[in-house]
Amino acid sequence: MITEIQTKCENQMKKAIEALENSFSKLRTGRAHPGILSGVMVSAYGSEMPLNQVASINVEDNRTLLVQPFDRSMVQAVDKAIRESDLGLNPMSAEVIRVPLPALTEETRKDMQKLARGEAENSRVSIRNARRDANNELKALAKDKEISEDDERRATDVIQKMTDKYIETVDKKLASKENELMEV
């Protein structure tokens, strides 16, 4: 019973880390990478579809992404979707779409850093919520006399160590992303 609670708690903490990595991949750094366009939705075939389902996204060089729609008739829709996204990108269309990434200014880098810190704090909150939920389940079991107080205390200590480990992981990932953002 205790191990189930601990496993469930750790899975929630892992999901918080995965969500953080996903949101960090969308933050634009000075270099081009396909993850920048992962949130772009394209009007295609009568519905909204993620860009990666209607086109391949490749890195042409450090500052340029190459977007190749699978269907040539989709070039204009893909171009429009990238322009209308809130990424501030200005694609150039022909048979393929080249998306040059403008150099980041100091102000833009600081804004990206603030966004990264906000995402990291959201992950920390998720991790602490998982800890709180697990501790509440343990307290309920102890109150119902299903486990002893010693078992509850030991399990709580294990969950706290797990929490510390995952929060440290968040801090390391944030520091790494901040360094990446501030590189010129």
Q: For the chain, what is the radius of gyration of the CA atoms?
A: 22
**CATH code of domain 2-26+105-182:** 1.10.132.20
pLDDT tier, 153 (very low <50, low <70, confident <90, very high otherwise): very high
Count CB atoms within 10 A of the CB of residue 33: 16
**CATH code of domain 34-100:** 3.30.1360.40
Predicted TM-score of the model (pTM): 0.73
Of 117, 126, 118, nearest to 15 (Cα)? 126
What order of strands is seen across the sheet that includes strand 92-93?
Answer: 55-61, 64-69, 97-100, 92-93
Which range in 8-12, 21-25, 45-49, 141-145 is most confidently predicted, on average pLDDT? 8-12
Domain residue limits, the chain: 2-26+105-182, 34-100
